[in-house]
Amino acid sequence: MNGNTHSSSENYIVLGEITGHYGLKGWVKVKSYTRPCEQIFDYHDWYLSADKTTLKRKGWALNSRLGPLNLKSGKKSGKNLVAWLSGIDSRDAAESLIGKSIEIPEAWLPALEKGEYYWSQLIGLKVSNTAGVDLGRVDHLVETGANDVLVVLDFDRKDKSIERLLPWTEQVVLRVDLEQGTIMVDWDVDF
């Protein structure tokens, strides 16, 4: 396993996460955020990074990133996706990766058409309505079948945080400005 950290100036995109070990020979269970889910296996070198909770629990350095780890094999096994990475040849080694995000440099992704975005580009953006009211920040997105949904969390409330579910439609999402880190929506603050 290559334990080198990669340049922190490069932007990374999260493709999924390691959710468990699989068998005794170092295979890991994978939760994929790509569509279709097996598309995660199209990327043969993965960087692994821990979320803040895992970093604290295991005492790892903030923003530590392992990799690249070469994807030796990946497949669907029942309802799960499983992968075998170079240098991960035991259950213990696989277990040490649980909770890590699977990332690749943003430059490796195909270019998008104007008006298209990767979900990871939207997470964290500030959401305001046409009246200029701050609705919160995008926490994550949900695929519903009909349309994707922005999950917007507003932590600025004194009493409690508010979660808003905004459909990703032309009628609701009016403008995305990645440079400014904002999304303008047509959405009532009380909705």
**C-alpha–C-alpha distance, residues 100 and 113, integer Å:** 30
Q: What is the predicted pLDDT for the residue at 78?
A: 87
CB 17 within 8 A of CB 8: no
Q: How many CB atoms lie within 10 A of CB 96?
A: 18
How do the pLDDT tens digits run along the chain, 191 residues long?
Answer: 223 333 445 788 889 999 999 999 999 999 998 888 999 999 999 999 875 444 444 444 445 788 899 999 999 998 899 999 999 999 999 999 999 999 999 899 888 898 888 888 898 899 999 999 999 999 888 888 888 999 999 876 666 788 999 999 999 999 999 999 999 999 998 87
Taking the complete model, does pTM exceed 0.75, yes or no? no
In the chain, ranges of CATH 2.30.30.240 domains = 119-185
Residue 47, amino acid: Y
Q: What is the DSSP letter of 98?
A: T
Superfamily for the 12-108 domain: RimM (2.40.30.60)
**C-alpha–C-alpha distance, residues 177 and 157, integer Å:** 25
Q: Extract the tokens encoding 118.
A: 């990767």
Q: What is the predicted pLDDT for the residue at 34?
A: 86
Q: Where are any strands of DSSP class E within the chain?
A: 12-22, 27-32, 45-50, 65-77, 80-85, 100-105, 126-129, 134-143, 148-154, 162-167, 173-177, 182-185
Q: What is the predicted pLDDT for the residue at 14?
A: 85
For domain 119-185, give the fold.
SH3 type barrels. (2.30.30)
In the chain, ranges of CATH 2.40.30.60 domains = 12-108
